Amino acid sequence: MKIGERLHRVRNLHGLTQEQMAAGIISKSQYWRIEKESNAIRASSLIKILNQNKISVLKFFKDVDDSGIKRRELQDLITNAYFARDHKKLEKIKKQSTNLQMKRLIDWLLAELKGESQDFPDEDKRKLRYNVWQVERWNDDILWFFFHTLYLYKYSNLEGIINALISKFTKNEKIEDRQLQLIASIAVRYLNICYKQNNRYEAKKVIRFLRKIPDKIEFGLAKMIADYYEALLNKKKVDAEEILDLIKACGYENYLSLN
């Protein structure tokens, strides 16, 4: 990963604007060019930016979170604990991390699990939403983050984001399975929202997308949920109940009920 791309990822994870990230060290326009890989950055400036924002220089150059856990491993731990409704596990992960944005995300997930999302501070919601609105380059980290903050967005704003995301990645034949899994998971959550909003057109569009993804075991859940909602839309209650029973038997009902 190049320096600009790493700065972009770390800045988003900390919920900072480009201006805040570079404040007092280099100009916003210069920093913007660095993230775009148009300009190089002096080592002295990079170290000042990292220190100013309390980002470990050593960990910046490693594929780890502030807790010392590899990013992918940490993300999987959080996702698994969330869908298992394991409050204690999430609290433990939160205590081990010094990343403020990650702590904020875990607080949001805990609020969802406890049915307290309405009481979650508006300022924290804004900071969590900021990550996605500022995205210029979708990567695994941003996709994972967006998946877990999807319910923070107004439905009217989601349509444009989801359609742009699906369109961008369906045109990319070289997309890796990890990214496609995350996109499929985002599509599933959006499908849940579309159904509850009674937007049949959007729901059917997402179902068509999910049907086009490869027939691999890792995409089985997404395809199963697409079948479930299609049965509901077509008023095939018996078929929907059979699929729902299968989803529950696999322990995946929370993909439908958490919102």
| Whether 123 and 168 share a structural domain | no
What CATH code is carried by the domain that includes residue 33?
Answer: 1.10.260.40
Domain count, the chain: 3
Domain for residue 138, yes or no? no
Taking CA atoms, 231 is separated from 248, 253, 258, in Å, by 16, 16, 20
Instruction: State the pTM of this model.
Output: 0.72
Domain for residue 140, yes or no? no
Last residue of some domain: 132, 167, 191?
132
| Whether 53 and 68 share a structural domain | no
| Whether 28 and 109 share a structural domain | no
Domain for residue 190, yes or no? yes
| Whether 18 and 80 share a structural domain | no
Closest CA to 150 of 82, 205, 215, 217: 82
pLDDT of residue 149: 92
pLDDT of residue 259: 44
- Beta pairing partners, 177: none
Is 25 a residue whose pLDDT tops 60? yes
Is 119 a residue whose pLDDT tops 90? yes
Terminal CA-CA length for the chain:
34
Last residue of some domain: 60, 76, 109?
60
| Whether 9 and 96 share a structural domain | no
Give the pLDDT band (50/70/90) at residue 167. confident
Alpha helix segments (H runs only) across 97-176: 100-113, 122-133, 140-149, 155-170
| Whether 115 and 171 share a structural domain | no
CB 213 within 8 A of CB 180: yes
Domain for residue 146, yes or no? no
Whole-number average pLDDT of the chain: 84
Last residue of some domain: 40, 60, 80?
60
Burial class (CB in 10 A: 0-12, 13-18, 19+), 35: buried
The DSSP letter of residue 70 is B
Domain for residue 19, yes or no? yes
| Whether 11 and 25 share a structural domain | yes
d(CA 55, CA 234) in angstroms, rounded, equals 51
Domain for residue 148, yes or no? no
Crossing angle of helices 140-149 and 100-113, rounded to 10°:
30
| Whether 167 and 240 share a structural domain | yes
Q: What is the pLDDT of residues 213-236, one digit of tens each?
A: 887 878 888 888 999 999 999 999
CB 216 within 8 A of CB 177: yes
Q: What is the pLDDT of residues 45-91, one digit of tens each?
A: 888 898 898 887 767 776 555 555 578 888 999 998 998 889 999 99
Is 116 a residue whose pLDDT tops 90? yes
Mapped onto helix, strand or coil, the DSSP state of residue 215 is coil
pLDDT of residue 69: 59
Domain for residue 252, yes or no? yes
| Whether 163 and 104 share a structural domain | no
Residue type, 185: S
| Whether 257 and 158 share a structural domain | yes
| Whether 72 and 84 share a structural domain | yes
What is the per-residue burial (b if ≥16 Cβ within 10 Å, else e) of 93-131?
A: bbeebebebbebbbbbbbbbbeeebeebeeebbebbbbb
Range of the domain at 7: 3-60
- Beta pairing partners, 70: 64
Q: What is the pLDDT of residues 176-194, one digit of tens each?
A: 888 888 999 999 999 999 9
Of the chain, the percentage scoring pLDDT greater than 90 comes to: 37
d(CA 1, CA 20) in angstroms, rounded, equals 23
Taking CA atoms, 252 is separated from 100, 115, 119, 165, in Å, by 29, 19, 26, 24
24 Rama sector, left if φ>0, alpha if ψ -120 to 50, beta otherwise = left
Domain for residue 141, yes or no? no
